[in-house]
Amino acid sequence: MIYRIDHTKFLVKNLTRNSRSLLWLKKGIWLYFILLIFEGALRKWVFPSLATPLLIVRDPVALFILVVAIKHKYFVFNSYLIIAWVTTFLSFCFALWVGHGNITVGLFGARIMFLHFPLIFLIGKVFTWNDVHKIGKTILWITLPMTILIAFQFYSPQSAWVNRGIGGDITGGGFSGALGYFRPPGTFSFISGVVSFYGLLTSYIYYYWLSSSQKVNKVLLMVCTGCLLATIPLSISRSLLGGVIVSTIFALMMLMKRPKTIFRLVASGVVIIILLFVLTYIPIFQTGIDAFTARFESANEAEGGAKGVLIDRFLGGMYNAIIYSDDLPLLGYGIGMGTNVGAKLITGKTTFLIAEGEWGRLIGEMGIVFGVIIILLRVTLAKNIALRAFRVIKSNNFLPWMLLSCSFLNLIQGQWAQPNSLGFTIMSVGLTMAAFKGTKMNR
């Protein structure tokens, strides 16, 4: 009898310890997400003098999450991580031996696969179905103030406080746009953050419009849909429009597994058309539409039309990275050298020393063998998640599929050297894996 009591106390104590560690892991992931949204704001407005160290403000959080996960046996150790870590470690060693030889640059490049990449699997293991929706609803609530900020940045001069650049740069943080207007970065350091944020928002918006099981405030959902439509021209970003189109294609593909969803899809389409009609009559957004149209036409003309935009810019970049790898060292120039931070540390200038495209950067940094291994790793992971996400649609769980519409291309060839793009890829893919837990609940 005494043994049973002691054993029960031990089990209760052990369960309490596990629940606390799980809570700390979830808090760490939430902090990672919050810093992803507001890292640029900290670097521009709150602590401009600390802009450089704040660039990697999420790295200590990622390290903390990994340490807690390993200590309390939540860490997910699989073949993806083994391949990623071994390849990255060898590339780091070769970078110091025959590459650039700069240990700081090497560490900055290696941290992508060592610290951030494992979080994909940890988020998938630690987060529940409800946690995934809490993130989605938080994004919905952030959208309205984010859109208002972007509108202010669009119409304000670059010298205005709202447009301060990194480190409080008074020349402004906007990027070249059209008709004298600049692409606003929102709370992020670069326009890529805005593109990634609204890409993830689009995934959730489509899901909540099409889902009959998940309850969400319809007024909030309609407001966020209007904000998304308004932000496309105000951002003057073709990538943002492209992300919305990709999510739309994913929503249409979903009809192959769940044809009855067509009624909700048509209803959401009607809402979008009405909102677009209303926005075209509001002067503040009409100016954005004019600027977006002007940039779209000029950029397309410069890149050779649709072929240049869709083929050369996407497939061409991936194809050329491998075809022209003969001109590169067998072991690459060294991991981290293809990042802007690496270039700054080596040359003193922020530039692309190797390639702007992700596949070109990987092969240029790591060499054809290691670079292709990491590329194939990312492509294989994307393929496996996509196949599983498509299969579970039939079980009335299409949240993983819609989340994948945001992360699929970023997982394959997103620019992970850029902290915003890296962070949003890690979060969106991790959320996709966690969303699989809703399959049994929706049967």
Per-residue pLDDT of the chain (443 residues; tens, 9 = 90+): 444 445 555 444 554 667 888 999 999 999 999 999 999 999 999 999 898 889 999 999 999 999 999 998 888 889 999 999 999 999 999 999 988 989 999 999 999 999 999 999 999 999 999 999 999 999 999 999 999 999 999 998 888 888 888 887 777 777 676 777 888 999 998 888 999 999 999 999 999 988 877 778 889 999 999 999 999 999 888 889 989 999 999 988 887 777 777 777 777 778 788 887 777 777 778 888 888 888 877 766 655 555 555 555 555 566 666 665 556 788 889 999 988 888 888 887 777 778 778 888 999 999 999 999 999 999 999 999 999 999 999 888 899 999 999 999 999 988 899 999 999 999 999 999 999 987 665 65
Maximal CA-CA distance, the chain = 83
Q: How far is residue 317 from each of residues 233, 239, 323, 361, 376, measured CA to CA in Å?
A: 26, 16, 10, 11, 16
For residue 200, what pLDDT is reported? Answer: 96
For residue 353, what pLDDT is reported? Answer: 78
Domain boundaries, the chain: 75-438
